[in-house]
Amino acid sequence: MNISIFGLGYVGCVSLGCLAKNGHFVIGVDTNPSKVDQINSGKATIIEKDVDTIIAEQKSAGHISATTDNQLAIKGSDISIIAVGTPSTDKGHLNLQYIFKVAENIGEALQHKDTFHIIAIRSTIMPGTCDKFAAIVERISGKKRNEDFAIVDNPEFLREGTAVQDYYNPPLTLIGSDNINAAEKVADLYRQLPAEVIITDLKIAEIMKYINNTYHALKISFSNEIGNICSELGIDSHKVMDIFCKDKQLNISPYYFKPGFAYGGSCLPKDLKGLQTLAHDLYIDVPVIDAIHKTNDLQIQRAIKLIYKYWDKKLGFLGLSFKAGTDDLRNSPTVTIIEALLGKGCDIVIYDKNINVAMLTGTNKEYIDSRIPHLSSLLVSDPEELINNCDIIVINTKEPEFIKLVEDIDNKIIVDFVRLDDAILSKSNYLGINW
């Protein structure tokens, strides 16, 4: 396939060499003549393991070239990969002037091209950038998106120092587009690599690089805070984290990566507080660990705000315990929400098959007595009664029986904190807490 790559910096140079090595004919494009001359002399524009050898070999084989001429590159290619920089501004926003300048250049070049052209953005961009890029191309070229050209987001996940190895051994290949044919053609560039190719919505692809790198930064900071605590206690933090990583069911797994409601129960709040207190006693600052419960509190406040829009309606809560399949009310976020809404004068009823007020004992009873002492007057034993008598149905736990209860409801608002079932997400009367 004939490919043009706009931007011959880090990502562009690696992509240029690796795509050529995979059998494609690749034209590099850059506004800097010295970078163009380097590529045309068979030299890499960056210092990176193995890239210099690949560029030299592929230039000798006639698979790569470089130019400052945008029209020549567009005319000689079917797919253009955008790999220009998107640095941060002083205020933390992305500086998109380079990428939008490329959009203008491509728009001008497409004025003189009659065949369909695919634009794949590899640069790190925020959601919505591809749409703005396409609008610029449309305005300048006079061409129509998805008729004359298509836009694809294809974020890169290359690390400096191991970029070539990462290119040929990616964890996955991600492609976002509103044009499935264009997405499939870009996917064909990566089919031979040993990783799943995921084709998804445009904005999902645009945000993934930020999600990934923010999580990587979080892991480093969390590990360093654990290391600082362990160091003060004379504990080998690497042995601690090695054991931590052996748990593939909970610690290193998808298990807790489900956006939704706040955590609760006895274990997580208690043990988090214990570690925070230990760090405090050791005079160790742990801002990441200290922020965890603050984020959890914010999620509860988000839920209260979402429900309070319907303060003048009868509210029915399905589930009260901190998670499905238990009667444990300790630190249940739902208890906090109901307590707050009752204080604002809301009319509330609750159904939870696991809760029997007469059977509550010990700390569980003490907790609920201090928060909602008149709980028994709010509980109903028949979920159908709750459904029939309430205007707003709030789902707090992922009990299978709740799916059947709400799947055919169209005349009441359903507020879902647990993503009960994907089948109900498209209902017009449905609201999720963060989806």
Amino acid at 31: T
- Give me the residues paired with residue 393 across strands: 316, 414
Residue 362's pLDDT is 78
Which range (7-11, 171-175, 227-231, 263-267) has the least confidence?
A: 263-267
Please give the domain boundaries of the chain with CATH numbers for all domains. Answer: 2-200 (3.40.50.720), 297-432 (3.40.50.720)
The Cα 176–Cα 154 span in angstroms is 7
Residue 307's pLDDT is 96
- With tokens 């997580």, the residue in question is 268
% of residues, the chain, pLDDT over 70: 100
Query: Active-site residue 18, yes or no?
Result: no
Residue 327's pLDDT is 84
55 pLDDT tier (thresholds 50, 70, 90): very high
> Is residue 312 scored above 70 in pLDDT?
yes
Phi, psi of 94 (to 5 degrees): -80, 140
- With tokens 């645009």, the residue in question is 206
For residue 431, give Cα distances in angstroms to 79, 278, 303, 393, 412.
40, 40, 11, 10, 11
Length of the chain: 435
> Is residue 371 scored above 90 in pLDDT?
no
Structure tokens at 377: 């007057």
Amino acid at 361: T
The Cα 25–Cα 20 span in angstroms is 6
Give the predicted TM-score (pTM) of the model.
0.86
> Is residue 84 scored above 90 in pLDDT?
yes
Task: Write out pLDDT tens, residues 143-168.
Answer: 999 999 999 999 999 988 899 999 99
Task: Write out pLDDT tens, residues 185-200.
Answer: 999 999 999 999 999 9
Residue 358's pLDDT is 64
Three-state secondary-structure class, residue 428:
coil
Task: Write out pLDDT tens, residues 22-43.
Answer: 999 999 999 999 999 999 999 9
The one catalytic residue in 130, 245, 267, 346 is: 267
Average pLDDT of the chain?
Answer: 94
